Amino acid sequence: MKIILDNIIYSKVNQGGVSNYWFELSKYLLHQSEDEVFFHEESNVFDNFHRQQLEIPTDAFLSNAKGKFSILSRVKPIKYESEDFFLYHSSYYRALKGVPNHREVTTIHDFTHNYFSPPHKRFVHNQLKFSAIKRSKGLICVSQNTYNDLRKFCPVRSDQKIEIIHNGVSDDYFPIKNYSDLELEFFRENKLEENYVIYVGTRTNYKNFNFVFELLKVSKNIKLVVVGNQLTAAERKLFSDDLLRRTVIFTGITNVELNLLYSNAIALVYPSSYEGFGIPILEAMRAGCPVIALDNSSISEVAGNAGILLKQLEIAEFKENIENLQDNASFRAEIIGKGIEHSKPFSWEKCCQETHNFYKEIASEL
């Protein structure tokens, strides 16, 4: 089978869950399938952290690939001609122009824009997304919650196949019982010898990062590790000098470094109001890090009964659970054990195998 993958996500963002998903899927198809796999991408992809780690053979690029990226690239269809049948999968809803002999698969990660974006942004995004959904013979939803949102917001046809395929978690994440001298030096260099909580991901409004800032205000004896982009000027205005001294930012770190940060943290604090999946929840659990999160959208589906899921975004409740994890060793051990066990069925190998099988199912229906 001939498969064409569109790497537009690497041009759109520098890091994040969708580019992580695309990296793992691309790596699997390149190394563990017998298919012919080809890629289309623009020239600025190496700004993306995951693309930097992906080795693609030079003969695996389409002849018209490596174009110059522009804003229009996000919406302008790819031009490609082929007499052979192929399967096409874009990382972010981009279309192919005038190629009848193919089947298209689209992965739907979330419906964040439908819940939280202003009308004009929601309109533009939905034009792109809903067109891709309409074109596609196969639709992959990363969670039951995303499937429910698909049914809520977008009509699907009876001839379209829909599969729920959960995201995975890397084997790079695991509990560390005894730290090496080099690992201890990592904590010393980054001034993380004291207790800290960790926040991982983007910081758009619905993620409620400002809540974490308020939580740090009343939790005087802990630090905050933020994995993502540097603090914005607006965020820095919210932080006092004391809070800035107690905040450590990591950008573009490896899984090995992130595993270290998870494994030594009091907890992953995850106050998001909505998730299509929530990969950091599983990463933290696999690394032996307790998870404190809001109980909504896909979070209960992904965390199961292994996370500390709270109904309300209340400082007192989050603070109480952080202190309980610090002071109650048996409670902490129970939460960690549940998390490790719960995360075991999730893997990128399983996710990619199921996706590849879905490709074959869609391609067989000519």
DSSP string, 269-289: EE--S--S--HHHHHHHHTT-
359/301 same-domain check: no
Are both 247 and 164 inside the same structural domain?
no
Whether 176 is covered by a domain: the verdict is no
Q: Is the pLDDT of residue 112 over 80?
A: yes
The CATH number covering residue 106 comes to 3.40.50.2000
* pLDDT, averaged across the chain: 94
Residues 29 and 161 in one domain: yes
In a shared domain, residues 223 and 303 = yes
Please state which of the ranges 38-42, 147-151, 162-166, 358-362 shows the lowest mean pLDDT: 38-42
- What is the C-alpha separation between 358 and 366, in angstroms, rounded? 14
Q: Are 226 and 207 in contact (CB under 8 A)?
A: no
Classify residue 185 as left (phi > 0), alpha (psi -120 to 50) or beta.
Answer: alpha
At residue 79 the predicted structure's pLDDT band, cuts being 50, 70 and 90, is confident
What is the pTM (predicted TM-score) of this model?
A: 0.94
Q: What is the DSSP letter of 171?
A: T
Phi, psi of 266 (to 5 degrees): -60, -45
Q: Say whether both 357 and 291 belong to one domain.
A: no
Domain membership of residue 104 (yes or no) is yes
Same domain, 101 and 158: yes
pLDDT of res. 97: 83
Instruction: Output 95-100 pairs: Cβ under 8 A, ≥24 positions apart.
Output: 95/131, 95/132, 95/135, 96/4
Alpha carbons 107 and 147: distance in angstroms, whole number: 11
Q: Identify the residue with better confidence: 286 or 83.
A: 286
Is residue 95's pLDDT more than 80?
yes
Q: Is the dihedral of CA 64, 65, 68, 73 positive or negative?
A: positive
Residue 185 covered by a domain: yes
Same domain for 156 and 251? no
The reply to whether 263 and 288 lie within a common domain is: yes
DSSP string, 194-241: S-EEEEES---GGG-HHHHHHHHHH-TT-EEEEESSPPPHHHHHHS-H
User: For strand 247-250 and strand 223-227, is the pairing parallel, antiparallel, or unpaired?
Assistant: parallel
Same domain, 190 and 233: yes
Kindly state whether residues 268 and 311 are assigned to the same domain.
yes
CA 242 to chain centre: 31
Classify residue 266: in a domain, yes or no. Answer: yes
Domain that holds residue 156: 2-168+348-363
Q: Is residue 175 part of a domain?
A: no
* Same domain for 247 and 121: no
Q: 216, 223, 238: which is closest to 190 by C-alpha?
A: 223
Number of folded domains in the chain? 2
